[in-house]
Structure 1
Amino acid sequence: MKKRIIFLSQLFDPEYSIKGLALCKHLNNLGYEVEVVTTFPSYPKGKVFDGYRSRLKNTDCEGAIKVTRLWSYITGSKGKLSRALNYFSFFITSLSYLLFCKKADVIYAYHPQITTGVSASFIKRIRRTPFISDIQDLWPESLIAEGASAGSKASRVIRRMVNFSLKNASKVVVLSNGFKTYLVEQGTPEDKISVIYNWCPEERRYLEMTLKSSSQHDGEPKVFLYTGNHGPLQSLESVIKAFASVPKELAKFVLVGQGAEKSQLKALAAELNIENVIFKDFVAPDMLVGLVRDADVMVCHLKNDPLFDITIPSKVQAYLCSGKPILIATGREANELVRRAKAGLSAEPENAESIASAIRRFAEMSDNELYQMGRSGQEFYQSELRQSSGFKSVTRVIEECL
């Protein structure tokens, strides 16, 4: 009889998610029965995607993969209460479903949101189902980095939820060595934790993309591209201020995506009368490839906070895979990954002068220098971070729980 895996995640295809349909198909190809338990796709716009309609429950199939979508509170509001309601509602509906659905041999709880681990913890206690907690963000540390008080009631409640999840998890997967060290210091047994670097879900498209290798600018400015969330943790104000000090003839900055601070960033660019900063709305991952192909340098920036010394933003793997050089202004571990790959230049986060200096250095490079730097990053990705390697690591952790 096939072993049964439930993949529990509030994010799932067609939303952008590192571990999603491709991983589930891989597990199914290995002979596992896989069911996805998720909600209706709405991230990042806060609106249910075209082709879907929110309801209490909907079941369909992606090939041999059963996908069960459950109701959750979905809103375009970026407020803390709305976000809490979104997470809590999925916790209630997923827990209710997991209590009565066909029993799994293991649950893989994908953990950008904290509630998946809590749901899986209750199921482990009630139905004796082991589960793996895949931690993509540290809570409540991420909220504290956004400005929440470490001693607030919300932070204390979230801390208890996280500790409950970690205590009950059979295995814990984390995205960096820094995450592992931090959790061990907080009391999670070291032998319970596996470090599995994220991969790029658009790997095939990026590896097949034609890279620039000769002079193609004809006097045009170098194009710097940022993709992803425009929120408080990305703190992109410093990057915009840096471009304000760089002549528009040298470089332009294109930002693609949505986020709570996008309107403020647009207002800042207007206030500074910057002509070399361009905002674009969210585009689907498969449409993003063209923008990446036409860019010269990819930009990764995070708030200057101790939390980000131990995290690796998922866009770093995507940027390495794309074969584009990277301007990275984050914490220690992500910087170190790019340094090892010889794939870019680093700057101090939230330091406009340091970022501007890196922009000028990139702008002075020849197209061939940029190409070689990007190519080095792509070769590093292929040797160290490929999706196939990540799949094998995840599979090994699952097998340890069966």
Structure 2
Amino acid sequence: MEEILIISNYYPPEKGAAANRIEQLALKLQQNNYAVSVVCPLGNYPKGELFPEYKGKFSVTENRDNIIVKRLWIYPSVSKNILVRILSVLSFSTCLFGYLLFRRTPKKVVVQSPPLLLSFISVFVLSLKKKKIILNISDLWPLAAIELKAVKAGSWSHKVSLFMERFLYKKASVIIGQSEEIIAHVKTIFPEKRTFLYRNFPDHKSDSFALKTIENEPVKLFFAGLLGIAQGVFELCQQIDLKDLNIELHLFGDGAEKGAIESLITDSKNQKIFYHGMMDRKVLHETLKTFDIALVPLKTRIYGSVPSKIFEYSALGFPVLYFGGGEGENIVAENQLGWVASVGNFAALNQKLQEISKLSKTDLANLKQGVFDRATSAFDLDTQIQHLIEKGVF
């Protein structure tokens, strides 16, 4: 059985799309007769503090579903201070540097990027050891950092990041990107590089449609995920107008904006927004069975980014109200998955909500079934993995 190592900054029991995505990749490779191991930090995300089972430990080795997971020490933080965030990434990267340099590693290694510093250190050591490096790019950094105004264009940190980005692309044996825009960007720098599209398809498909549409209830719109700066859920809650609409907005998740959102809901006279906290993924999916529409927002259009929630919730049968711009708009429109409102245009978003509010429960039930059928045929993780294996990516 061929060995393969995955290096990631996130892995379950941590929550969120990044951890789920890497676990799905690990499990699919394992199902295709690879002996998979993962190196990641001690569990701490999204709260930025070590989970109770990892406190006081420098490293932990676990067996999760026959995948060996090696967790290394990290100074956890979700601080908005960029220096503190860099210190957190450096703490794990330093441990990872020593681990990769002195420990035996398989011939094939998947490196997740971003974080850029983490992937740079990984690729640097692995290139010295002449490993096959499969670079898995989920977002384009530093480009995304510039668009989010986390880094100033032309600054010292921007120039260093650009150097690391080029180094990664140059040294990678093959690159898999999670959007067409990512692939196109890599090709502008290294046109000859072997690249493949690898979408964030979910692995929870069912043979039968499981959602329920309940009569005599408002339309239940929901957001489930990271309540971070990039998603802009706090501003959305401030701008969304549900006053005279037959719609409720339900929020699930955790992150930097959690406190502000809770305060807004407590202080607001708008009784149609509800916050339910963080839930385990399976519990969340069970809870959502009587909900109606998935809201997928981004604060700004980020080149290369395609939210995995588009695929995850449409595969369950939820029509999507997409408010993020970019390639995601095309995916929703081309596959007839729901509605698109121009990113940052709250007037357009509220107009879409007025349209949705007029739908009957029969209309919603038909929409759900249609979305489920289209997503089932279009977003198949097994087919995608098989294609990449046949092309010699892994």
Normalized against structure 2, the TM-score is what?
Answer: 0.91
Match of 1:234 in 2: 231
Q: 1:207 to 1:116 in 2, by over 3 A?
A: farther
Q: Quick one: distance in 1 between partners of 2:146 and 2:297?
A: 18
Between 259-268 and 311-320, the greater mean CA deviation after superposition: 259-268
* 1:105 corresponds to: 107
C-alpha distance 261-62 of structure 1, shift in aligned 2 (>3 A) = closer
> Is the Cα contact below 8 Å between 1:48 and 1:54 reproduced in 2?
no
Q: Give the drift of 1:231.
A: 2.0
- In structure 2, give the amino acid aligned to 1:157: V
Q: 1:279 aligned to 267, 272, 275, which one?
A: 275
Which stretch shifts more, 30-39 or 259-268? 259-268
Instruction: Return the alpha-carbon distance in structure 2 between the equivalents of residues 371 and 127 of structure 1.
Output: 55
1:178 aligned onto 2:178: no
Deviation for aligned residue 1:65: 2.2
Please give the alpha-carbon distance, in whole angstroms, between the structure 2 residues aligned to 1:196 and 1:190. 18
Gaps of 5+ in 2: none
Superposed, which structure 2 residues align to 1:48-197 within 5 Å? 48-53=50-55, 55-147=57-149, 148-185=151-188, 187-189=189-191, 191-197=193-199
- Contact 1:9/1:37 (CA < 8 Å) preserved in 2? yes
CA contact (8 A) 1:228 1:258 kept: yes
Report the counterpart of residue 4 of structure 1 in structure 2. Answer: 3
**CA 1:88–1:60: 2 relative to 1, 3 Å:** same
Deviations 1:72-93 (A, max 9, x none): 1113534322321222222111
CA shift digits 1:86-107 (9 cap, x unpaired): 2222211112111122231111
Match of 1:382 in 2: 376
Choose which of 26, 39, 50 in structure 1 pairs with 2:41. 39
CA RMSD in angstroms comes to: 2.3
Q: Are the equivalent residues in 2 in contact too, given 1:238–1:350 (CA < 8 A)?
A: no
Q: Tell me which residue corresponds to 2:259.
A: 263
Q: What is the CA–CA distance in structure 1 between the aligned matches of 2:71 and 2:137, rounded to whole Å?
A: 22
Q: CA deviation at 1:394?
A: 4.2
Q: TM-score normalized by structure 1?
A: 0.89
Aligned twin of 2:215: 217
Q: Kindly tell me the number of residue pairs found equivalent between the two proteins.
A: 390
Residue 171 of structure 1 deviates from its aligned partner by 0.7
* Kept after mapping to 2: 8 A contact 1:292/1:322: no
Q: Could you list the per-position Cα deviations for residues 186-242 of structure 1 after superposition, in whole angstroms to 9, with x for gaps in the alignment?
A: x122542111111125x14x76662125xx231x32111001122222122453244
For residues 237 and 72 of structure 1, do their structure 2 counterparts lie closer, same or farther at Cα, with a shift above 3 Å needed? closer
Note closer, same or farther for the CA distance 1:183–1:400 as it changes in structure 2 (3 Å cut). Answer: closer
Shift of 1:67: 1.4
Q: Which amino acid aligns with 1:258?
A: D
* Alignment partner, residue 343 of structure 1: 337
Tell me which of 242, 246, 249 is aligned to 1:250. 246
Cα 1:22–1:314 shift into 2, 3 Å? closer
- Offset at 1:64? 3.4
What is the rounded CA distance, in whole Å, between the counterparts of 1:222 and 1:162 in structure 2? 44
Say which of 315, 322, 326 aligns to 2:320.
Answer: 326
CA distance in 2, matches of 1:238, 1:325: 23
Q: In the superposition, relative to structure 1, how do residues 249 and 331 fare at CA in structure 2: closer, same or farther (>3 Å)?
A: closer
- 8 Å CA contact 2:209, 2:372 repeated in 1: no
Deviation at 1:357, TM superposition (A): 0.9
The one-letter code sitting in structure 1 at the alignment partner of 2:92 is: F
Please say which of residues 124-133 and 74-83 is displaced more in the overlay. Answer: 74-83
Q: Give the distance between the partners of 1:230 and 1:355, measured in 2 at CA.
A: 19
Contact 1:239 1:355 in 2 (8 A): no
Residue identity over aligned pairs, in percent, reads: 23
**Conserved 8 A contact 1:248-1:275:** no
Partner of 1:302: 298
**Would you say the 8 A contact 2:11–2:22 is kept in 1?**
yes
Shift in alpha-carbon separation, 1:107–1:375, aligned structure 2, 3 A: same
Q: Secondary structure at the match of 2:71?
A: strand
CA separation in 1, counterparts of 2:8 and 2:111? 6
Superposed, 1:358-397 pairs within 5 Å as 358-396=352-390
Conservation of the 8 A alpha-carbon contact between 1:117 and 1:165: yes
**Pair 266,62 (structure 1): closer, same or farther in 2 beyond 3 Å:** closer
Whole-Å Cα distance in 2 between the matches of residues 207 and 51 of structure 1?
36
